[in-house]
Amino acid sequence: MVTDVKIAYSPLNDAALVLVAEALGFYDSEGLNVTLSREANWSNIRDKLAYGLIDAAHILAPVPFAAALGLGPSMGRIIAPMALGANGNAVVVSHDLKAKLSDDDSLHTPLMSSARLLAREVERRRKAGEGRLVFAVPFTWSPHHFVLRHWAASAGLDPERQLQWVVLPPSRMADMLKDGVVDGFCSGSPWPQTAHLMGRGQLLFADPDYWSLKPEKVLGVRAAWAEDNPYATISLVRALLRAALWANRPANRDDLMRILARHVYVNAPQEAISLALSQGGAGYTLDPETATFPWISHAKWFMGQLVRWGWVEPDHDFDHLARHIYRPDLWRQAASGLGLNAPEADEKDEGGHSEPWVLPASPAPIIMPANRLFDGGVFRCR
């Protein structure tokens, strides 16, 4: 029996698993007839999920929580049975601002240092009677927005009062930077790298500089569809985990870049895609064991950011909501036949690991990459 599935995605490198699964026939071999829909912005994807126009999507991890907490349309619950990798974003600023945020001529500036220089520039502009610095993000309730706010706040800035925020599609951000409409932006790759290669701005930092194993996108599935199609839901997750196994192999890197660069997929210069995926790039991690598990601790961190920045009140049962949306049980079912090790717990400390470490898992432990936040913070659910 073949199940029809409509899946939306944004043209970004971190849609790789969704795209590879189609390109290599993993959906077909799992009994799924998948129709992909490339969308111009995250609002389209959110609304199509909410109104049942699609069944699943490559989506910003905070969006299902924002919807459940009353931020935007909520016509039905969205579950997340897996993450679609880790990292993948970068921050680009104007040439002028980059010079002011740098102590030397290096491409990357340590975040604490650049945050202090940002605060100095904000104060200079205030004294000179100039307008606030403007930063673009692809969606209000997005990891991109959380990263920039946390970075600015680490130097004592109030991101709400002392900076200005605009929402733009990632593909338009480079033009807005070139035209002086914004001073910087954070978006998914390969658009920051495209802006850099076109000379429209300079890379300031990438996700791994902020959080070495930062959660970003998830597979969002309409809960009603998943309940009506339990076997197809597991098949969908399994197809994407198979895509991760393939994409994570170094021997397949060139083929992965060619797939992403296709006109019908990301449709960006292969040079920009390569720069983002290269060592020292945006750090996009596809390893299925270390970057696709839907951690309850990630869910709570995202909801904590919604509270931190004043978008929701703290009087919610966040543990219940996290487990209502993130579904590690479905990940474990899908992974069981693929030879993957499954974490024994659903939560872990986020941050605090500056070196690789051992995660208890079954049937064998998982060697996890470093899990470090730039300011040394550790997020604990307990």
108, 66: one domain = no
159, 175: one domain = yes
pLDDT, tens digit, for every residue of 329-361? 999 999 998 999 999 999 999 999 999 999 999
pLDDT grade for 107, boundaries at 50, 70 and 90: very low
Looking at the 3D structure of the chain, how many domains does it have? 2
Residue at 354 is within a domain:
no
Residue at 193 is within a domain:
yes
Is the confidence at residue 368, as pLDDT, over 70? yes
**Residue 35: what pLDDT?**
98
CA atoms within 13 A on the CB side of 268: 26
122, 80: one domain = no
**Residue 381: what pLDDT?**
73
306, 222: one domain = yes
Residue at 367 is within a domain:
no
Is the confidence at residue 1, as pLDDT, over 60? yes
Q: What is the mean pLDDT of residues 310-323?
A: 95
Q: What CATH number does the domain containing 144 carry?
A: 3.40.190.10
pLDDT grade for 301, boundaries at 50, 70 and 90: very high
Q: Which domain holds residue 14?
A: 3-86+214-248+286-344
Is the confidence at residue 114, as pLDDT, over 70? yes
**Euclidean distance between CA atoms 300 and 322, whole angstroms:** 6
**Euclidean distance between CA atoms 5 and 111, whole angstroms:** 42
Residue at 95 is within a domain:
yes
User: What is the percentage of the chain residues whose pLDDT exceeds 70?
Assistant: 97
Is the confidence at residue 380, as pLDDT, over 90? no
**Euclidean distance between CA atoms 19 and 25, whole angstroms:** 10
Q: Are strands 357-359 and 342-343 parallel, antiparallel or unpaired?
A: unpaired
138, 223: one domain = no
Q: What is the mean pLDDT of residues 245-269?
A: 96
**Euclidean distance between CA atoms 346 and 326, whole angstroms:** 10
52, 190: one domain = no
| Cβ-proximal residues to 24 (8 Å cutoff; 6+ apart), any chain | 243, 246
233, 183: one domain = no
State which of 181, 210, 239 marks the end of a domain.
210
Is the confidence at residue 146, as pLDDT, over 90? yes
Q: What is the mean pLDDT of residues 262-269?
A: 94
340, 227: one domain = yes
**Average pLDDT value over all residues in the chain:** 94
Q: What is the mean pLDDT of residues 15-35?
A: 98
pLDDT, tens digit, for every residue of 121-131? 999 999 999 99
Residue at 379 is within a domain:
no
**Residue 365: what pLDDT?**
98
Residue at 349 is within a domain:
no
Residue at 77 is within a domain:
yes
**Residue 104: what pLDDT?**
53
Q: Are strands 202-206 and 133-137 parallel, antiparallel or unpaired?
A: unpaired
**Residue 294: what pLDDT?**
98
150, 222: one domain = no
pTM listed for this prediction = 0.95
68, 177: one domain = no
| Cβ-proximal residues to 157 (8 Å cutoff; 6+ apart), any chain | 115, 118, 119, 122, 163
**Euclidean distance between CA atoms 311 and 341, whole angstroms:** 37
226, 338: one domain = yes
Residue at 366 is within a domain:
no
**Residue 260: what pLDDT?**
97
Is the confidence at residue 210, as pLDDT, over 50? yes
Q: What is the mean pLDDT of residues 63-82?
A: 89
Is the confidence at residue 80, as pLDDT, over 80? yes
**Residue 109: what pLDDT?**
56
240, 309: one domain = yes
